[in-house]
A and B are shown apart, each in its own frame.
Chain A
Amino acid sequence: MKKWTLGLTLVLAIAVLTACGGKKYEAVPINEEVDVCAICKMQVKDDAYATQLTTKDGKTYKFDDIGCMNEWKKTNGTENIGMDYVRDYNDKEWVEYKKATYVYDASLRTPMAYGIVSFKDKKAAEDFIAEQGVGKLMKADELVSHTWEQNKESMNMGDMHGDGDMNSVMSGDSMEMTEK
């Protein structure tokens, strides 16, 4: 009887230990009240531009723009990152950085003006490009060689008087999807 109990304890102990060993990462929700971007210190809004990463020792950093996450990786390296997430532009679902499809154009307005939006599938990204009429489709590995230039200059120097061009300019920090 005693032997049996010992055996059971051993099995249980092994089960517990192995369960601990396999680390599972999960995206955490954005809390607008307290979350600020780890790089630029602006409030992280619960929108499609938010990104986050969790380090191997379990610390989570949130960013208001994928460009800020890139800055973090430049400073801190990528070896210690357990998992990093971006969001689908359409339904804000968290998508693994490696698996997402990206669209870049300097004229896209994002919180820190890096001009990159992310999608969970290629089809949605292509639709977005067709809809906007601009944009370069990229995979995660192509982002490595991306210039990460911020659009700090006025881009529509051309005349936009009179055409009320409000809707063709993309949502940025100052704009968001209409909700009533």
Chain B
Amino acid sequence: MKNKFMKWMRLTIAILFVSVASSLFGSAQANTTEAPAKALQLLIDNAMPGDTIVLEDGKYLGPAIINKQLTIKGSRHTVVTADGKPTVIDIRSNQVAIEGISIVQRLAGDSSAIIVNSDHVSLDNLSIETRGFGILLRNANEGIIKNNRIVWSGANNNERASMSKKNNGIDLYDSHDNRIEANEISDMRDGIYLENSHRSNVANNLIYRSRYGIHCMYTDGTRIIGNQGEYNVTGAMIMGVRDAVVSNNSFRKQSENVNSQGLLLFDVQTSLIEDNVVEGNRVGIYMEQSSNNELRNNSVLRNFMGIQFLESSDNRFNHNQLIANVIEAEALESSGNRLDSNYWDSVQGLDVNDDGLSDISYAINPFYQRLIQKTPAFQLFFQSPGMIYLSNLFMNDKDNWATDRTPLMSLPPALADRTNLPQETRSYVWIASLILLSASLTIIYKGVHRK
């Protein structure tokens, strides 16, 4: 009797379970197929100039051409795609604003999520996932691009692709006076690429795992302020630029590639580079064919090579801090650069008149650098006694060495926190060493005890 009852119970439970599961499954399926993607172009065509279109959560299908003054708003769950078309949203009217929505471009190559061909456009708080470009500006002036998130879509499923298969996050050509602020860009080719585009304001962006974080080609009056770059091939590649301001940026850990550097300046004239932190890069600041620039108050920390000047003359380099770099500085074929009042942690100075500046100048011997430039394999002899001996023999050209006439005796206290390791790293070190200590004590104690 009892047995029969149990059997019956089991059957009922099984049936119940199956029905519940199937109904759940059924409803879930209904949810995903429920709303077919709406055509964004229809909504735009039906709107009057000056209207605001508020998109609901859900899918919208591009490509859409915006040829009148409109504001389009939505949330992260408003997703616009374009089904293999080269552009998802094409903005051709002035004063268009797009806010808050997500845009996905699945076509690789020259495709882009957004192309802007007009002035005074605002792109705010968008989430862009792309296999091509993120945002293209062509002949588009005085726009504002801020708070956007741009990512190469392969990054989500841990794909790997060579940099040349990817494209740039924000790409400007022939577009002037734009503001690019507080965007987060990752896994793209160049994060922000500016070509023939003048007076751009690039501020407070975060760019990582890309080729060049910020890449300027032939721009005047560019302002690059407060940006952060990490794990890029190069943090900022500034080329063919005059009258730029590069300040308060931090470029850290650009060291994965054999050609990495924090900040590269090539053919840069009359620009100001100040208050930047370059830390843990292969080369901190690299400068070639650049003249009449002022580099001051930069923190150059823990790089393989701190500063490298090549064919660069008449630059002023003062009040910078060079700490814990493997090679501090190198200058080849560079004359007329004025170095003074920098803090070099390897300086052995002498301050007789107590003004905080050493009365002995600090000259950087380029012998080792010249040697490894011709034959890179000689890097094996880094800091070998023979190399130091040889370097000391070749002193005859000393007047042309990069020389700090008045190196600082001590690090200015205001900068001490900027040059320190972050606190959390230190606590990790403490915890790790405590664990190691207790482990070794236990082993010693147990080992002795057993005997």
Residues of A within 8 A of B (CB): 32-34, 36, 40-43, 45-47, 113, 150-156, 160-166, 169, 171-180
Q: Interface digits, B276-312 against A, CB 8 Å rule (1 contact, 0 not)?
A: 0000000000101000000000000000000000000
Are B139 and A160 interface neighbours, CB within 8 A?
Answer: yes
In the complex, are the beta carbons of A174 and B168 less than 8 A apart?
A: yes
Assuming the contacts A113-B218, A176-B164, asked whether A41 and B92 have C-beta atoms less than 8 A apart, the reply is no
Q: Which residues of B contact A43 (CB under 8 A)?
A: 163, 211, 233, 259
A133 to chain B, nearest CB (A): 19
Cβ of B136 within 8 Å of any chain A Cβ, yes or no, is: yes
Q: Does B196 contact A (CB under 8 A)?
A: yes
Q: Judging by beta carbons under 8 Å apart, are A180 and B196 in contact?
A: no
Please encode chain B, from 385 to 427, with 1 for each CB lying within 8 Å of some chain A CB and 0 for all others: 0000000000000000000000000000000000000000000
The answer for the CA separation of A136 and B115 in the assembled complex, in Å, is: 31
Instruction: From the candidates A41, A153, A163, A173, name the one contacting B217 in the complex (CB within 8 A).
Output: A173
The answer to whether A47 touches B164, judged by C-beta atoms less than 8 angstroms apart, is yes
Residues of chain B with a CB closer than 8 A to A162's CB: 67, 92, 117-118
Stretch in B72-80, B104-112, B142-150, B354-362 with 4+ CB within 8 Å of A? B104-112
Q: How far is the CA of A41 from the CA of B264 in the complex (A)?
A: 9
Knowing A41-B286, A179-B109 touch, does A46 contact B217 (C-beta < 8 A)?
A: no
Tell yes or no: B193 within 8 A of A by CB: yes
What distance in Å separates the Cβ of A33 from its nearest Cβ neighbour in chain B?
A: 7
Interface residues of B (CB under 8 A from A): 65, 67, 86-87, 90, 92, 107-111, 115, 117-118, 133, 136, 138-139, 162-165, 167-168, 171, 173-174, 190, 193, 195-196, 211, 217-218, 233, 237, 239-240, 257-259, 264, 266, 286, 288
The residue from B138, B139, B162, B259 contacting A41, defined by CB atoms under 8 A apart: B259
Q: List B contacts of A33 (CB < 8 A).
A: 162, 257-258
- Give me the 5 closest cross-chain CB pairs, A-B, nearest first: A178-B109, A152-B218, A154-B174, A162-B92, A36-B259
A45 to B166, CA, bound (A): 12
A41 to B193, CA, bound (A): 16
CB distance from A68 to the nearest CB of B (A): 11
Complex interface: chain A residues within 8 A of B196 (CB): 151-154
Tell me, rounded to whole Å, the shortest Cβ–Cβ distance linking B303 to chain A.
Answer: 16
Whether A41 touches B288, Cβ cut-off 8 Å, given contacts A32-B163, A174-B195, is: yes
| In the bound complex, CA of A180 to CA of B109 (Å) | 7
Provide a sorted-by-A list of 15 A–B residue pairs whose CB atoms are within 8 angstroms: A36-B259, A41-B266, A43-B211, A43-B259, A150-B240, A154-B174, A162-B92, A162-B117, A164-B92, A164-B117, A165-B117, A166-B115, A174-B167, A175-B110, A179-B109
Known A-B contacts A113-B217, A113-B218; the reply to A165 vs B107 at CB < 8 A is: no
Instruction: Please give, as numbers and ranges, the residues of chain A lying within 8 Å of B92 by CB-CB distance.
Output: 161-162, 164
Which residues does chain B contribute within 8 Å of A47, judged by CB atoms? 164
Q: Which residues of B contact A174 (CB under 8 A)?
A: 133, 167-168, 171, 173, 190, 193, 195
Let me know if B164 and A180 touch, CB within 8 A: no
By a CB distance below 8 angstroms, the chain B residues around A46 are 164
Q: Is the CB of B259 within 8 A of A179?
A: no
Do residues B110 and A176 form an inter-chain contact, with CB atoms below 8 A? yes
With A41-B286, A162-B92, A173-B217: A34-B109 Cβ-Cβ less than 8 Å: no
Known contacts A47-B164, A174-B171; decide if A180 and B110 are in contact (CB<8 Å).
no
CA distance A175 to B67 in the complex (A): 25
Pairwise interchain contact A32-B164, C-beta atoms closer than 8 A: yes
Q: State the CA gap A45–B173 with chains docked (Å).
A: 20
| Distance in angstroms between the alpha carbons of A164 and B111 in the assembled complex | 13
Assembly CA distance A35 to B204 (angstroms): 31
Given contacts A161-B117, A164-B87, 10 further A-B contacts (CB under 8 A): A41-B286, A43-B233, A152-B218, A160-B138, A161-B118, A162-B117, A173-B217, A174-B193, A176-B109, A180-B108
Chain B residues with CB under 8 A of A40: 239, 266
Q: Evaluate whether A42 and B108 lie within 8 angstroms (CB atoms) in the complex, with A152-B196, A166-B115, A174-B167 already known.
A: no
Q: B197 — nearest CB in chain A belongs to which residue?
A: A154
In whole Å, how far is B229's beta carbon from the nearest beta carbon of chain A? 16
Give the docked Cα–Cα distance between A174 and B53 (Å): 33
B138 CB → nearest A CB, Å:
7
> Which of B87, B164, B258 meets A45, CB within 8 Å?
B164
| Cα separation A156 to B67 with both chains bound (whole Å) | 21
- What is the chain A residue whose CB lies nearest that of B162? A32
- Closest CB-CB distance, A44 to chain B, in whole Å? 10
Task: Provide the residues of chain B in CB contact with A41, threshold 8 Å.
Answer: 259, 264, 266, 286, 288
- A45-B164, A174-B167 known; A152 vs B240 contact (CB < 8 Å): yes
Q: Is the CB of A34 within 8 A of B162?
A: no
A150 x B117 contact (CB < 8 A): no
A153 to B133, CA, bound (A): 23
Kindly report which residue of chain B lies nearest to residue A154, judged by CB atoms: B174
Q: A150-B218, A152-B240 are in contact. Are A166 and B139 (CB under 8 A)?
A: no
